[in-house]
Structure 1
Amino acid sequence: MKKKPIILVTNDDGIIAPGIRTLIKVINPLGDVYVVAPNKPQSGVGHAITMDSILYCDSVKIDNGIQKEWECSGTPVDCVKLAINKILPRKPDICVSGINHGSNSSINIMYSGTVSAIIEAGIEGIPSIGFSLLDFNWNADFEPSKKYVYQIVKKILYNPIPEKIISLNVNIPKLKKEQIKGIKICRQAKSKWKESFDKRSNPKGRTYYWLVGDFINFDKNIDTDEWALKNGYISIVPIQFDLTNYPILNILKYWSFVFFILDSFINF
């Protein structure tokens, strides 16, 4: 690249989370880093945007780094939108989200603010990568992930796929550096959460509900992200924002033909 690339960094755990602080330090050598991230945890907000209240976005200095930083009162998607439209000097060359505290593999991408941020970047035509470590602990050890984060960001930044916008969902197992076997390019496993709500009462007797659940993986094939993570590999899943079910599309087109024929004979 002839000019110094602009890298947009965001997350859903909040701007002071250890994961994003690690990410910033790792990728600072790769370009001109701009950080626009939530001012508080926003896990599980998915692709939510703020429409019924105002947004604040204030310049901050967290760790005396060379990056430029803003904390936003909105969601991760709000952060990306504001960064592109109001804060950055031009459209970023890449958007990097994370490093998330906890898994965003398989079905979890549907709820993830980390992943939704990179999907929003993809909608804007920006290559993007979301990183997650399978450790929910605030003091998680991000050291083993640093080498891989640097390599993956550099690869996409300096070796783009021609005429293609790529978004990658990267999950890193909770392992020591020497235990990570490498990287696997995968597909998203078929899975779900079997959920229930614990019914409880507060000290004043008012009923409230607490969501609980168990993760169920229906997909035991070896080409999935869940298999890779369980077997000591970092998983990379290419994702897109087009939710069209293409295998079913032609079936429904046939239905529309049948409906047209029936409509000729049936009147209400």
Structure 2
Amino acid sequence: MPKPLILITNDDGITAPGLRTLVTYMSAIGDVVVVAPDSPQSGMGHAITLDSTLYSKRMKINPLSDLHEEYSCSGTPADCIKMALQEILTRKPDICVSGINHGSNSSINVLYSGTMSAAIEAGIEGVPAIGFSLCDYSWEADFTAAEDFVKTIVTEAITNGIPKGVVLNVNIPKLSKEEIKGIKICRQAKANWKEKFDKRTNPMGKDYYWLTGEFELLDKGEDTDEWALANGYISVVPTQFDLTAHHAIANINNWNLNE
């Protein structure tokens, strides 16, 4: 049987340690093609490029690049998936794996995440997809504890399939392998960011702003991604890109909208 074709992308950029680590892990499972941003794109969400040109070029990041194909893209993570599926790959990948992100994409963070938006874009195109994130924002983050878990999740997803219309959001706690208790299938915790802008003035007298804020967990449930991470588990949240609030349809149908 031919090896599975694995498309890899991220939002931290093609040279990010998390992506380089993921390439190594996935090369043990299948044939790898990397299409990733040429510069960091964190927090881009599902943005796509509409009003400027896109560029892509074949890359050779290290000597092991001879074992797989790598391309940089000047656009967003979602652009990378579109470019890969429409222009670069000659066949549909068996799975798309995005990450490993430097930092958490649990709870409400999934809405802002370029890592997850790349995976969601693949899911929209009918490609099974998983976004991986490590809860460590450091560029020197240690991903070694995640290796066996990442390989297991991807292998199981390839073997069993991911339900149609669903993308997996996987977050890994910043722990040693021995400290990680296992993997939990979770729901997304209810939370938000209490944000504010730090107003400053530059040397020319012009005001500018830095966005700051604090994460506010509003959910005490023990079946959430935040609970799992806080208690030493890897969280896996099946995430759907159909944003319809089906439970609200009957209520809104009672409005007098057509009178």
TM-score by length of 2: 0.97
Give the distance between the partners of 2:34 and 2:73, measured in 1 at CA: 10
1:138 counterpart letter in structure 2? W
**Structure 1 counterpart of 2:257, which letter?**
F
Distance 1:69 1:165 in 2: 27
1:202 aligns to what? 202
Inter-CA distance 166–242: structure 2 relative to 1 (3 Å threshold) = closer
**What is aligned with 1:143?**
144
Structure 2 unpaired stretches of 5+: none
Q: Distance between the aligned counterparts of 1:254 and 1:6, measured in 2?
A: 49
CA RMSD after TM alignment? 1.0
Runs (5+) with no aligned partner, structure 1? 264-268
Q: Distance in 2 between matches of 1:195 and 1:164?
A: 35
**1:126·1:165 contact (CA, 8 Å) conserved in 2?**
no
Corresponding residue for 2:48? 49
Q: Which amino acid aligns with 1:47?
A: H
| Counterpart Cα distance in 2 of 1:221 and 1:166 | 22
Deviation for aligned residue 1:64: 2.0
Alignment-mate amino acid for residue 53 of structure 1: S
| Aligned-partner Cα distance in 2 for 1:244–1:26 | 35
How far apart, CA to CA, are the structure 2 residues paired with 1:17 and 1:70? 14
1:17 Cα deviation after fit: 0.4
Q: Does 1:32 align with 2:27?
A: no
Q: Would you say the 8 A contact 1:48–1:77 is kept in 2?
A: yes
Residues 1-268 of structure 1: pairs in structure 2 closer than 5 A = 2-65=1-64, 66-161=67-162, 164-255=164-255, 258-260=256-258, 263=259
SS of the counterpart of 2:197?
strand
2:170 maps to amino acid: V
- Runs ≥4 in structure 1, deviation > 4 angstroms? none
How far 1:165 sits from its partner (Å)? 4.7
Letter in 1 for 2:203: P
What TM-score results when the alignment is normalised by the length of structure 1?
0.94
Identity of aligned residues (%): 61
Amino acid at match of 2:53: I
Deviations 1:80-116 (A, max 9, x none): 0000000011111100000000000000000000000
Report Cα offsets for 1:16-55 as digits up to 9, x if no partner. 0000000000010211100000010000000000011001
Q: Tell me the distance in 2 between the aligned counterparts of 1:166 and 1:206.
A: 46
Q: Which amino acid aligns with 1:84?
A: L
Whole-angstrom CA distance in 2 between matches of 1:67 and 1:149: 19
User: Take 2:48 and 2:165, find their aligned partners in 1: how far apart are those partners?
Assistant: 23
Alignment partners' CA distance in 1, 2:43 and 2:197: 16
CA distance in 2, matches of 1:9, 1:92: 10
